[in-house]
């Protein structure tokens, strides 16, 4: 598998925020979000080729039961199912972070962390290669088949209306599993936008999603 990086840190977002975890960042993503903070993982030729044995050996070098498989877009990767199955046999709690553009069934995944892309992502230049940047059918399957959380990036207050529209299209969503997070790639921007998103959460009842990695380490990579 093509791996951009493997590192040990704290989960910065979602229901497991603050949990010490090993992050396996797989390379390759067909989307091109304008605010993406991991553009270095876009290319399918970025990072290094690693077999599953090598990945697992590196993961087990850290004393934690939590593994986050991220990207890029991990759901487009061949071999994902086998890797997750082998990690699960080692009693790992597995989170898969995805944009929700591809469905794979039967994955050993404890938490499917889905970040659907709103129009604020600016995907006009996306190399979608047959994938829909916002695929309601895929989102319905993922939320039906996995324990999930939905995280939406908010750039301006008006984005809340689009979130509501997407949720209505998906249907049968647990409101308690929906969170909104400020669009920010720096600590300064996060602090600037957080109050706006907090007010939006108070008005909608959705959770406020922290971005702990930005607050702690700002723009540093792999920490």
- Comparing 128 with 66, the larger pLDDT belongs to 66
Between CA 75 and CA 71 the distance in angstroms is: 9
21-58 pLDDT, tens per residue? Answer: 999 999 999 888 888 989 999 988 888 999 999 999 99
Amino acid 130: pLDDT = 75
Amino acid 125: pLDDT = 52
Strands 66-70 and 20-26: parallel
Let me know the angle formed at the C-alpha of 87 by 29 and 5, rounded to the nearest 5 degrees: 40
Residue 129 has pLDDT above 70, yes or no: no
Residue 127 has pLDDT above 80, yes or no: no
Domains and CATH numbers, the chain: 2-175 (3.20.20.70)
79-100 pLDDT, tens per residue? Answer: 999 999 999 999 999 999 999 9
3-state secondary structure of 223: coil
Task: Using a pLDDT cut of 70, give the percent of the chain over it.
Answer: 97
């Amino acid at each position: 598998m093509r791996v951009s990086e493997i590192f040990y840190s704290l989960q910065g977002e979602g229901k497991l925020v603050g949990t010490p975890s090993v992050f396996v960042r797989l390379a390759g993503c067909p989307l091109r979000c304008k605010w993406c903070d991991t553009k270095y993982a876009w290319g399918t030729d970025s990072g290094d080729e690693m077999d599953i044995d090598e990945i697992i050996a590196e993961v087990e070098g850290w004393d934690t039961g939590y593994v986050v498989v991220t990207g890029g877009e991990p759901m487009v990767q061949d071999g994902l199912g086998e890797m997750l199955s082998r990690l699960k046999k080692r009693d790992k709690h597995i989170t898969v972070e995805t944009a929700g553009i591809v469905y794979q069934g039967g994955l050993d995944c404890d938490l499917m962390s889905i970040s659907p892309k709103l129009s604020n992502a600016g995907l006009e230049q996306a190399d979608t290669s047959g994938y829909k940047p916002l695929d309601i059918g895929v989102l319905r399957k993922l939320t039906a088949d996995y324990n999930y959380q939905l995280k939406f990036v908010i750039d301006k207050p008006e984005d809340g209306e689009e979130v509501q529209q997407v949720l209505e299209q998906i249907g049968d969503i647990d409101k308690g599993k929906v969170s909104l997070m400020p669009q920010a790639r720096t600590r300064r921007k996060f602090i600037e936008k957080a109050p706006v998103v907090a007010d939006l959460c108070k008005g909608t009842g959705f959770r406020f999603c922290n971005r702990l990695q930005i607050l702690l380490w700002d723009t540093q990579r792999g920490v």
